[in-house]
Structure 1
Amino acid sequence: MNLPQTNTSLFQRMRFVLVHTSRAGNIGSVARAIKTMGFGAAGTGELVLVAPRCDDPLNDPEAVAFASGAEDVLKGARIVDTIGQALDGCNFAAAVSARLREFSPPVWTPRAFAGHVAAAGELNPALILGNERFGLPNQIVEQCNVLINIPANPAYSSLNLAQAAQVLAYECRIAALGEEGVPAVPSAIGFHGAAAGVTEIEGMYAHLQQALVAIDFLDADNPKKLMPRLKRLFSRTQLETEEVNILRGIARQILKHTKQK
């Protein structure tokens, strides 16, 4: 897992992830939207497609037409099978959804997200956008650090995929450059360890769940909503790698002692 260097530009650290996209034209439109804001070009950021539901999306005539000058971003997109592969190397993931969830992580605006990731040079963030019709499944939303809800007209809040990507990319550009085009200066207040990656945190949750089952705190056959609640609890923090290791160490000791009984 290769992480970008600390304090590199947000334009190099940002990743846009499209999950189960149905229309190739929408992929091309997203490529255009993020390129206009300075993301996705050669050597800067990434566009990643998770199991797209259209054939050959990088060469589809509609995708190429809608990319309209951003063919380099489209051709440079990566196609992967799972969200885990898409988030490899990321340590701050944001789900984008108009639909709020009972057990979602903290809800942020695009501006709050952009300001946070622009100022925190140690973060390698990912913006995750779901299928045009169904959005993102709860399982993906729950493993993210935050849920981004674009504050649109409540009477008609439906944005298409490229529009949502454009809003997010714009806010990230403004945060990265500052209102006057001057790069934002990351805050150096307080000590911060390396932020834990999304896959590291998911591994911690699996380990913790095993430990809770072992001590009969969690009924594996009737788990109800305990794990989603714990995920929501931890998502209110920005877990660091060392903190994840501590929690996994606790889970390891629990499992060790239960096996000795």
Structure 2
Amino acid sequence: MKQAESTPTLFDRLRIVLVETSRPGNIGSVARAMKTMGFSELVLVNPRFDGALMHEESVAFASGAVDILERTRVVGSMEEALDGIHFAAAVSARLREFSPPVMAPRELAQQLAAGEARAALIFGNERFGLPNEIVERCNVLVNIPANPEYSSLNLAQAAQVLVYECRMAALDGQRAASDVGFQGDAASVAQIDGMYAHLEEALVQLGFLDANNPRKLMPRLKRMFSRAALETEEVNILRGIARQIIVKCGRKE
């Protein structure tokens, strides 16, 4: 009899994504933080200097976590960085008017550990943080509840807080999938992005959305759907509705 495959733990499912990092030392420090807490998948999106992974400062700050750097991928887009990811969390000290739901690190870690989705923690540039277009496509915005009078954390410190909380949650063994809300297969970020594009086209055809004056309709819809933890079948249903709207409005796909 074939033995059932074990469910991957959060240590296997979590990806750390650094976007347009400016300091090589921060990349090395994040790799060190990850290895200390038992995580290993690191992806860089357009680092702002050449030779980011084997830069002298990266290696020095990694301090024994060079194996993490050696396995790190450097990509040119968020689409590549989030390939295969079902749940994306933007980490930012700055709250946004049309951000996805806001969570604290511990709450997020417990949710991720209880589920089975492949997840990504996304950290922005040291000076500018994450742009709104990246934050809006994520499922949640993670905000570290620091001292409001001085809430400044550098990139590596913020990453250390998040991976620590994820390690604690993973070790606690909180596996209640119902806490995450996934009953079927979780929809990937790419699938959800495709649904948004399809839905936007349908709303324009319907006359509900003015393409020349969209205001904040799509960010509000993204915020609403991000709370639903969409499954693949649910995304397919919504795209089917969008398809029928386009057909009924008289324009073939």
TM-score band by shorter chain is over 0.9
CA distance in 2, matches of 1:118, 1:205: 27
TM (norm. structure 2) is 0.94
Q: Name the structure 2 match of 1:166.
A: 160
- Structure 1 126/188 Cα, relative in aligned 2: closer, same or farther at 3 Å? closer
User: How far is the alpha carbon of 1:6 from its aligned partner?
Assistant: 7.5
1:138 maps to a residue whose letter is N
Q: Which runs of 4+ in 1 moved over 2 A?
A: 188-191
User: How far is the alpha carbon of 1:254 from its aligned partner?
Assistant: 0.7
CA distance in 2, matches of 1:7, 1:232: 29
Contact 1:129/1:161 (<8 A) preserved: yes
Query: What SS class does the counterpart of residue 93 from structure 1 fall into?
Result: strand
Q: Which of 39, 54, 58 is the matching residue for 2:53? A: 58
CA distance in 2, matches of 1:162, 1:21: 11
**Are 1:250 and 2:241 matched, yes or no?**
yes
- Structure 1 99/6 Cα, relative in aligned 2: closer, same or farther at 3 Å? farther
CA distance in 2, matches of 1:73, 1:39: 9
Contact 1:119/1:185 (<8 A) preserved: yes
User: How far is the alpha carbon of 1:185 from its aligned partner?
Assistant: 4.3
CA distance in 2, matches of 1:19, 1:210: 29
Q: Name the structure 1 match of 2:202.
A: 211
Structure 1 residues not aligned, in runs of 5+: 41-45, 179-183
**Are 1:177 and 2:177 matched, yes or no?**
no
Q: Name the structure 1 match of 2:26.
A: 26
Q: Name the structure 1 match of 2:44.
A: 49
User: How far is the alpha carbon of 1:188 from its aligned partner?
Assistant: 5.3
Q: What are the Cα deviations for residues 197-251 of structure 1, in whole angstroms up to 9, with x where unaligned?
A: 1110010000000000001111111111110011011111101111000000000
CA distance in 2, matches of 1:141, 1:6: 33
- Structure 1 52/177 Cα, relative in aligned 2: closer, same or farther at 3 Å? same
Q: Name the structure 2 match of 1:71.
A: 66
Q: Name the structure 2 match of 1:186.
A: 175
**Are 1:118 and 2:87 matched, yes or no?**
no
User: How far is the alpha carbon of 1:139 from its aligned partner?
Assistant: 0.3
Q: Which of 129, 145, 148 is the matching residue for 2:142? A: 148
**CA-based RMSD:** 1.5
Percent identity (aligned): 67
Q: What are the Cα deviations for residues 26-82 of structure 1, in whole angstroms up to 9, with x where unaligned?
A: 101100011100111xxxxx1000011111101100101000100000111100000
Q: Name the structure 1 match of 2:216.
A: 225
2:206 maps to a residue whose letter is I
CA distance in 2, matches of 1:188, 1:55: 42
**Are 1:85 and 2:80 matched, yes or no?**
yes
Structure 2 residues not aligned, in runs of 5+: none
- Structure 1 235/191 Cα, relative in aligned 2: closer, same or farther at 3 Å? closer
Contact 2:110/2:174 (<8 A) preserved: no
CA distance in 2, matches of 1:114, 1:132: 23
CA distance in 1, matches of 2:223, 2:174: 30
Q: What are the Cα deviations for residues 88-123 of structure 1, in whole angstroms up to 9, with x where unaligned?
A: 1010000000000000000000001100010102x1
Q: Name the structure 2 match of 1:181.
A: none
User: How far is the alpha carbon of 1:9 from its aligned partner?
Assistant: 1.0
- Structure 1 102/25 Cα, relative in aligned 2: closer, same or farther at 3 Å? same
